[in-house]
Homo-oligomer: A and B are copies of this chain.
Amino acid sequence: MTTNKKLIGVDLGGTTIKFSILTADGEVQQKWSQETNVLSEGNFIIPDIIESINHHLDLYKMSADEFIGIGMGTPGGVNRKEGSVSGAFNLNWNENHKVFPVRDITEGTGIKTYLENDANVAALGEKWKGAGNNSDNVVFVTLGTGVGGGVILNGKLVTGIAGGAGEIGHITVDPKGYDCNCGKKGCLETVASATGIVRVARDLAEEYSGDSKLKSMLDDGEDISAKDVYDLAKVDDVLALKVVDKVSMYLGLALGNVANTLNPEFIVVGGGVSAAGDFLLEHINEYFLKYTFPLVKETTKLKLATLGNGAGVIGAASLVIEGE
């Protein structure tokens, strides 16, 4: 898109709201952030966003007509038709408290606004300016408190018939596995989220009796994190390696099956757990190669995300380009 007009990206999270002003080519020119005020059923959030944008445009001596649009990523379920959000519990926007950011922010700033789910905008960000290398076929999976994802095929975000697409965390990897918050059993999220990895560690520790720092820590009742598991595995702690192997098997299976179905160019792995880096990726890849058929094995590549927390604002801004 050749234009001097700019984009605004907003990444609305449960603790922070991040803002960026970007060129139409996705170059970040300004950024700022503020705390999310979830008091009063989250009623301050949208007015705060509007005020913050208007205030910063004043500060930078910019006007609404210098922008193509605003794109925002949000937790919860997005109804694209209505431009509404529901069920964003960490913002205190519950089912009975539907919010209409598209209408409100468009009116409040005079800039056309676009909205999408936060995992999907992170996927769009990594696709556009991150590990996805602007390929038309990218799947993104985020390993954090939960496991989320986004699917981009033929250059377009896939939302499915009801916005449920991309929920890679709810792929069933073990029909007899742990109960998931979603109501079913053995979801990828129950074993590959930060808490899932710790759960697997606790279970494997029970049946393990050899020498292991991880085992001692667990037996001593220490609070361990997914990072501890990966750090110990990197220094060859036997139990930690077993945990990493099991988690990687589940991730390789789920991502392998996504690849068998969609043959994307890249599957990008992000989120807090991905800080474990190449070590994490190599272990997943071992199983990924085992569970993919030849053509897919040769052509679909796993990669680490490169934008970190910045993927959200950039992907949110790209909604504007997609929408135009």
Contact = CB atoms under 8 A, between A and B. Distances in A.
- Counted per complex, copies of this chain come to 2
A295 interface: yes
Interface centre among A149, A154, A187 (most CB of B within 10 A): A154
Interface of A: 77, 135, 137, 149, 151, 153-154, 156, 158-168, 170-172, 175, 180, 182-184, 187, 249, 253-254, 256-258, 260-265, 290-296, 298-300
Interface centre among A187, A261, A294 (most CB of B within 10 A): A261
Contacts of A290: 175, 184
Given A172-B291, A290-B184, A263 B165 contact: yes
A184 B257 CA distance: 12
B261 A172 contact: no
Given A182-B294, A293-B182, A161 B265 contact: yes
B292 A163 contact: no
A183 B261 CA distance: 17
Contacts of A296: 160, 162, 164, 167, 170
B171 A260 contact: yes
Contacts of A298: 162
Contact of A261 (B156, B261, B291, B293): B261
B261 A175 contact: no
Given A172-B253, A256-B172, A290-B184, A162 B261 contact: no
Given A167-B296, A172-B256, A158 B291 contact: no
